[in-house]
Amino acid sequence: MTPREQPPIGSPGEHLSELHARLMRLHKLLLEDQRAAYEAVHGEVTAADLLRLLLTHPDFAWLRALSEMLAGIDEALDEVGGQLGDAELETFLQRSRALLRSDRSGPFETNYRDVLQRSPDVIMAHSAVFKLL
pLDDT of residue 7: 47
Query: What's the Cα-to-Cα distance from 37 to each of 32, 33, 44, 54, 117, rounded to whole Å?
Result: 9, 6, 10, 13, 15
Instruction: State pLDDT tens for residues 70-112.
Output: 999 999 999 877 678 899 999 999 999 999 986 778 899 999 9
Q: Looking at the predicted structure, is the pLDDT value of residue 6 above 90?
A: no
Alpha-carbon gap, residue 65 to 112, rounded angstroms: 11
Tell whether the model's pLDDT for residue 10 goes beyond 90: no
Average pLDDT of the chain, as a whole number: 90
Q: Is the pLDDT of residue 33 over 60?
A: yes
Report d(CA 109, CA 97) in Å as an integer: 12
The pTM for the full model equals 0.88
- Decide if pLDDT at 132 tops 90: yes
Q: Where are the domains of the chain?
A: 12-130
pLDDT of residue 103: 77
Phi, psi (rounded to 5 degrees) for 11: -75, 160
4: pLDDT strictly greater than 70: no
